[in-house]
Chain A
Amino acid sequence: MSDDMTKKITCQEALRLVSEFIDGELDGVSSSEVKMHFERCKRCYPHLELERHFREALRRACTREKASPTLRQRVQGICSGGRSES
């Protein structure tokens, strides 16, 4: 529950802004105020962590793949002459 230190942002506002806060896209609200709310509000903090864990898992799973050497070679062929070697 909110205490004195989290008065500026209500729990409802914090939950509404959680994604924009993580994405660095807050509009018209101070990031430090939202951050302070999550740090001090035991009820809201897990919501922030859940969203963060979700994004971390997504990034981990989806940044492994790289273009194969064959594809790289073909694209390099395009870059150097506007044609594919295939």
Chain B
Amino acid sequence: MADRSGSKPGFEEEALPHLDAVYRFALRLAGNVDEAEDLVQETFLRAYNAWDQYERGTRAKSWLFTICRNVFLRRREREQRHEEILSENVDRDGTSEDLVNPIWRSAAGLDPEGEFFASIVDDRIVQALENLPEEYRTAVVLSDIEGMPYAEIAEMVGVPVGTVKSRLFRGRRKLQEVLFDHAVEAGLIPASASVEGGA
């Protein structure tokens, strides 16, 4: 219920501190400032209108992120069909191919600990992240940048924890691969290192 000033008690205190985080999340989803700003406004407007249904003391950031992603996905659905992603029922306990990171195999002896990551410019990393399919991107952003637990991501996105793990695994590997290739091209590691397909 709104008070006399028209505001809803507690909303600003709980929601506003997450503005920068919601903005960054929106930016990663949308890929451009204009759309991200629009997404943020709609997110806060919807959150404000649904404030009476929000359970105080629960995770406000997670709640705002959920709204933001839902708004984004609905808009995208109107524009295009979802990008198809590969089957997600990956057996993570399976092959040895899964276990050894392919870029480690390529970089071994040159930069086995991946120090080249520190030399890659921010914009290039952001670009690589934004090129991931939305499902992988969201999982990576929520886990690696926002530090959310797997269970919270699963609840937010509406998938089992195993799917979150699988998306993280695939998303991270893909990103690492792209960034490794960039590092080789940019001369950040010797050109003799290149990603090889096999084990």
- A residues bordering B, Cβ < 8 Å? 12, 15-16, 19-20, 23-25, 45-47, 49-51, 53-68, 71-72, 74-76, 78-84, 86
> B96 interface residue, CB < 8 Å from A?
yes
Complex interface: chain B residues within 8 A of A61 (CB): 120, 122-123, 125-126, 129
> B45 interface residue, CB < 8 Å from A?
yes
Q: Do A84 and B40 form a contact, CB below 8 Å, given A19-B168, A25-B150, A63-B145?
A: no
State whether B45 touches A82 (Cβ < 8 A).
Answer: yes
Q: Which of B45, B101, B108, B126 touches A84 (beta carbons < 8 Å)?
A: B45
CA of A71 to CA of B27, assembled, Å: 13
State whether A58 touches B145 (Cβ < 8 A).
Answer: yes
State whether B24 touches A63 (Cβ < 8 A).
Answer: yes
CA of A80 to CA of B48, assembled, Å: 9
Contact-residue size bin, chain B (C-beta under 8 Å from the other chain): 35 or more
State whether A59 touches B99 (Cβ < 8 A).
Answer: no
State whether A60 touches B122 (Cβ < 8 A).
Answer: yes
Complex interface: chain A residues within 8 A of B118 (CB): 53, 56-57
State whether B145 touches A59 (Cβ < 8 A).
Answer: yes
B121-152 near A? 1/0 per residue, CB < 8 Å: 01101100100000000001101110001100
B1-16 near A? 1/0 per residue, CB < 8 Å: 0100111100110011
Q: Which of A25, A49, A74, A80 touches B114 (beta carbons < 8 Å)?
A: A49
CB distance from A50 to the nearest CB of B (A): 3
State whether B41 touches A74 (Cβ < 8 A).
Answer: yes
CA of A61 to CA of B182, assembled, Å: 15
Complex interface: chain A residues within 8 A of B28 (CB): 62
State whether B101 touches A47 (Cβ < 8 A).
Answer: yes
State whether A82 touches B126 (Cβ < 8 A).
Answer: no
State whether A62 touches B24 (Cβ < 8 A).
Answer: yes
Q: Which of B6, B49, B172 touches A80 (beta carbons < 8 Å)?
A: B6
State whether A53 touches B115 (Cβ < 8 A).
Answer: yes
State whether A79 touches B122 (Cβ < 8 A).
Answer: no
State whether A50 touches B129 (Cβ < 8 A).
Answer: no
State whether B99 touches A16 (Cβ < 8 A).
Answer: yes
CB distance from B148 to the nearest CB of A (A): 10
State whether B145 touches A71 (Cβ < 8 A).
Answer: no
CB distance from A38 to the nearest CB of B (A): 12
